[in-house]
């Protein structure tokens, strides 16, 4: 008798033509609407399958996998994986994968663009124009912060941070960075970036961009104290995870003029946005789209599919998913938001 085909759950609508590759190997259950599934719904779905293709909308921890006796692999579409309790998955022998690499340049493009939009007040200017307030060219209108020749600070210097640093070279910026570990000399030279401690980064950056992973250790890394240490008139851009910033403290800093502007693609309670930030005119708000070019989002799904096929022991890389998640050093403190 033929062996039964493994069962797979695809938790969100992705690109049908790419996800269809799973049909060659597995019996696939697809969810057709974007949904923040309740934990009980995730647990029920995982309890019935061998593998799952999930996104950042799906929070998977101990409770969700407790009854998933057949589950062998969870492939998440995204580089950040704070939606997964990797320890809990690993403890049950479940392979967890993410999609690093394929979104680096697209996300770096967006981070740089968001920083520029905040500094040069681009969306504020557009809202003003659309509101019919442009009655004549004004010399003092909508003056923004300089970008070329200023100091860019990058907190978190992985692939995306390095991509942003390389872009900054074209703008004649000085690049400072702080990271859990210092980069090798050749990478620092390639990025023309100088390693500094966190307080120096805060004090010297005209534009600070956050690109570090979110974990218990980095929760509210930008709090009221960090904001008070930032250079007056600086900008702050976040394309990583909302939980890195204490949003009420940021609203105070923006409202009080301590910071010139902020660019935020991610929010602590997303899709809900802190109403105080919505009320600030000097913040550019975007709905978690830093990696959202068509080609990149397709590449992310394709990599996640490849990971799942391999992790479930099928295809040319059977047993060797291309991008498994290794537990980070602070994995014991890694937690779900």
**Which residues form the interface with ligand DGY (CB under 6 A)?**
56, 78-80, 103, 291
Catalytic residue among 30, 169, 220, 270: 270
Q: Which is nearer to ligand DGY, 39 or 101 (CB)?
A: 101
Least Å distance, CB 212 to ligand DGY, is: 12
Whether the CB-CB separation of 177 and 193 falls below 8 Å is answered with yes
Least Å distance, CB 234 to ligand DGY, is: 24
To the query of whether residue 288 is one of the catalytic residues in this protein, the response is: yes
Q: Which is nearer to ligand DGY, 218 or 291 (CB)?
A: 291
Q: Which residues of 287-299 are buried (b: 16+ CB within 10 A; e: fewer)?
A: ebebbbbeebbeb
Least Å distance, CB 233 to ligand DGY, is: 28
**CA angle (7, 50, 8) in 5-degree steps:** 40
Least Å distance, CB 48 to ligand DGY, is: 27
Which helix (DSSP H) or strand (DSSP E) does residue 310 occupy? helix 294-311
Provide the Cα torsion 313, 315, 317, 323; round to 10°.
-80
137: how many CB neighbours lie within 10 A of its CB? 6
Q: Which is nearer to ligand DGY, 78 or 243 (CB)?
A: 78
* Phi and psi angles of residue 270, each rounded to the nearest 5 degrees, phi first: -55, 145
Whether the CB-CB separation of 12 and 31 falls below 8 Å is answered with yes
**For residue 308, which of 327, 292, 323 has the smallest C-alpha distance?**
323
To the query of whether residue 241 is one of the catalytic residues in this protein, the response is: yes
Q: Which is nearer to ligand DGY, 45 or 79 (CB)?
A: 79
Catalytic residue among 59, 72, 120, 241: 241
Whether the CB-CB separation of 286 and 265 falls below 8 Å is answered with yes
Q: Which is nearer to ligand DGY, 46 or 84 (CB)?
A: 84
Least Å distance, CB 282 to ligand DGY, is: 24
* Phi and psi angles of residue 284, each rounded to the nearest 5 degrees, phi first: -95, 125
Q: Which residues are catalytic?
A: 241, 270, 288
């Amino acid at each position: 008798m033929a062996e039964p085909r493994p069962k797979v759950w695809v938790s969100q609508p992705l690109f049908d033509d790419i996800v269809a590759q799973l049909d060659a190997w597995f019996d696939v259950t697809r969810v057709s609407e974007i949904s923040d599934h309740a934990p009980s719904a995730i647990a029920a779905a995982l309890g019935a399958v061998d593998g799952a293709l999930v996104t950042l909308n799906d929070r998977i921890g101990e409770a969700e996998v407790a009854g998933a006796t057949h589950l062998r692999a969870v492939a998440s579409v995204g580089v950040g994986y704070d939606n997964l309790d990797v320890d809990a998955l690993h403890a049950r022998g479940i392979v967890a994968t993410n999609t690093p690499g394929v979104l680096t340049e697209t996300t770096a493009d967006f981070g740089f663009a968001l920083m520029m939009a905040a500094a040069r007040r681009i969306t504020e200017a557009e809202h003003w124009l659309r509101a019919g307030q442009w009655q004549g060219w004004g010399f003092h209108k909508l003056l923004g912060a300089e970008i070329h020749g200023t100091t860019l600070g990058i907190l978190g210097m992985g692939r995306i941070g390095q991509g942003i640093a390389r872009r900054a070279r074209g703008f004649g910026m000085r690049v400072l960075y702080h990271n859990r570990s210092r980069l090798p000399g050749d990478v620092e030279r390639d990025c023309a970036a100088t390693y500094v401690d966190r307080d120096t980064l805060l004090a010297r950056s005209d534009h600070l961009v956050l690109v570090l992973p979110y974990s218990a250790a980095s929760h509210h890394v930008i709090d009221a104290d960090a904001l008070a240490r930032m250079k007056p008139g600086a900008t702050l851009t976040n394309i990583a995870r909302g939980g890195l910033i204490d949003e009420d403290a940021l609203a105070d800093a923006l409202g009080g003029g301590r910071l010139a502007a902020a660019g935020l693609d991610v929010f602590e309670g997303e899709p809900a946005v802190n109403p105080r930030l919505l009320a600030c005119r000097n913040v550019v708000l975007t709905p978690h789209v830093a990696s959202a070019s068509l080609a990149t989002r397709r590449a992310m799904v394709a990599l996640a599919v490849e990971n799942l096929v391999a992790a479930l022991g099928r295809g040319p890389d059977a047993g060797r998913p291309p991008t498994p998640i290794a537990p980070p050093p602070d994995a014991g403190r890694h937690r779900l938001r």
